[in-house]
Amino acid sequence: MSSLTVRGVSKAFGGLTVLDGVDLAVEDGSTLALLGPSGSGKSTLLRIVAGLDQPDAGSVHLDDDDVTHRPAHRRGVGVVFQDQALFPHLDVAGNVGFGLRMAGVDRRERSVRVRDALDVVGLSGYEHRDPATLSGGEAQRVALARALAPRPAVVLLDEPLAALDQLLRERLLVELRSLFDDLDVTVVAVTHDPTEAAALGDRIAVLLDGRIAQVGAPGAVIAAPASAEVAGLVGQRNVFDGRVVEGGVETSLGLLAVDPAGHAGPVALLVPPSAVVPTPDGPLRGRVRGLLYRSGTPVAIVAGVGPRDDPDRMSPTDGPTLDVLAEPGWVVGDEVTLRIHAASVHLMVR
């Protein structure tokens, strides 16, 4: 177990810059979720940390050792691949014991540690199964056990749950998290899913266009994204463009009395659904276009939102769309009036 530091790592493929001066620090025993859309370079960063690719510039450190030029097999970094990459010619025990065999661990100790590793991921008794017969979740656990068995300094997970269905994913998320806590292991988990990132990581690092856009605790990153792009990436929907003016911020929703808090000129606003209050005398109105449930909470998609006293803005397609916590009794087609709680609005750079 070690701390992991990445300093100024850059990488280009055929003239296309994939990573552009990335800095990261993962504390000993903590878990970092590396969140980014596809193409953001997160898998490349992970491969560079694992030693599977070489950076064009920058360095990778485990504790105080510069391991930038140490090949993958001597780095002691475990990797769980997105597609598991289980060896089809070996059984489960052969897969899990592979790293131990490479390390020269003798047969008897190996079988003990393989059993332990399988116990840890909840697959006791799976030793002699053929990987082809495993379900997606089982295969993922075997891959994890395989990466953990040699007790690596750092474990890297590449989209560890992408191949699984929703239910299984949530169950495994929790298991993984408690497993990492129990094992006290340094982990970097790459994902494009903010839920996954929040559930897994002690901290989240957001990678956008080859640069780290934001690093912080999950709550902070999700509630207070650093930019509109980050907000979109962490799943926030009510994001609008605005401009700081006298008395607040001018937006397509009208003038909102938000404290500029040092921002000036063009900004982006995040309006959390909880900041939108349905009220009969609200200054805004719109029409309910759709109703859906998000984790059991009813959410109304309200379209054509605009100042209620503007007669030109009654068309349901005219004006922005806002996610609102739905009131009981709302049905599609209702016209509703709303008020935005300006103090809960989050301003970001644009």
Partner 1 sequence: MNAPDRSARTPRAVTAAAFAVPVAFLGVFFAVPVATLISTGLREGGRWDLGAVGEVLTSPSTRSVAWFTLWQAVVSTAATVVAALPAAWLIGRIRFPGRSLLMAALIVPFVLPTVVVGTAFLAVLGPDGPVAALGGVLGFDVDLRRTATAVILAHVFFNYAVVARTVGAAWMAVDPAAEDAARTLGADRWTTFRTVTLPQLRPALAGAASIVFLFTFTSFGVVKILGGPRIATIEVEIHRLTTQLLDLRTASVLSLLQLAAVIAALALYRRAGARRGSARTRAGRSVLHRPAGAERWGVAATITSAALLVGVPIATLVWRSFDTAGGPGLGYYRALGSTGRGSALFVPPAEAVRNSLVIGAAAATTALIVGGLAAVGLHRLGGRARGVADSSLMLPLGVSAVTVGFGFLIALDEPPLDLRTSPLLIPAAQAVIAIPFVVRTLLPALDAVPARLREAAAALGAPPHRVWWEVDARLLRRPALGALGFAYAISLGEFGATVFIARADAPTVPVAIFRALSQPGALNVGQAMALSTVLLALTAAVMLLVDRVGDARVGGF
Binding stretches for partner 1 (CB under 8 A): 13-14, 18, 38-39, 43-44, 47, 50-54, 71-79, 81, 83, 85, 87-89, 98-99, 102-103, 146-147, 150
* Least Å from the CB of residue 269 to partner 1: 33
Q: Toward partner 1, which CB reaches closer, 146 or 203?
A: 146
Side chain identity at 122, as an amino acid letter? G
Q: Toward partner 1, which CB reaches closer, 153 or 176?
A: 153
* Least Å from the CB of residue 102 to partner 1: 4
Which of 253, 266, 267, 231 shows the shortest CA–CA distance to 320? Answer: 253
Q: Give dist(CA 267, CA 272) in Å, integer.
A: 16
Tokens of 244: 């700081």
Which of 181, 109, 189, 106 shows the shortest CA–CA distance to 147? Answer: 189
Q: Give dist(CA 197, CA 181) in Å, integer.
A: 15
Which of 232, 234, 240 shows the shortest CA–CA distance to 215? Answer: 234
* Least Å from the CB of residue 41 to partner 1: 9
Q: Toward partner 1, which CB reaches closer, 44 or 238?
A: 44
Q: Toward partner 1, which CB reaches closer, 13 or 335?
A: 13
* Least Å from the CB of residue 15 to partner 1: 12
Q: Give dist(CA 146, CA 67) in Å, integer.
A: 22
Burial (CB count <10 Å: 0-12, 13-18, 19+), residue 19 = buried
Helix (H, G, I), strand (E, B) or coil at 311: helix
* Least Å from the CB of residue 126 to partner 1: 18
Cα–Cα distances (Å) from 278 to 274, 286, 316, in that order, read 10, 11, 18
* Least Å from the CB of residue 305 to partner 1: 38
* Least Å from the CB of residue 72 to partner 1: 4
Tokens of 27: 């504390």
Q: Toward partner 1, which CB reaches closer, 39 or 265?
A: 39
Residue 233 · residue 208 · CB < 8 Å: yes
* Least Å from the CB of residue 272 to partner 1: 33
Residue 50 · residue 75 · CB < 8 Å: yes
Q: Which secondary structure element, helix H or strand E, spans residue 245, and what is its range?
A: strand 239-245
* Least Å from the CB of residue 234 to partner 1: 22
Q: Toward partner 1, which CB reaches closer, 15 or 296?
A: 15
Cα–Cα distances (Å) from 254 to 46, 206, 310, 315, in that order, read 44, 31, 11, 16
* Least Å from the CB of residue 57 to partner 1: 15
Q: Toward partner 1, which CB reaches closer, 53 or 323?
A: 53
Residue 134 · residue 170 · CB < 8 Å: no
Residue 9 · residue 32 · CB < 8 Å: no
CA angle (194, 196, 202) in 5-degree steps: 90
Q: Toward partner 1, which CB reaches closer, 42 or 263?
A: 42
Q: Toward partner 1, which CB reaches closer, 93 or 270?
A: 93
Q: Toward partner 1, which CB reaches closer, 72 or 245?
A: 72
| Strand duo 31-35 + 186-191: pairing | parallel
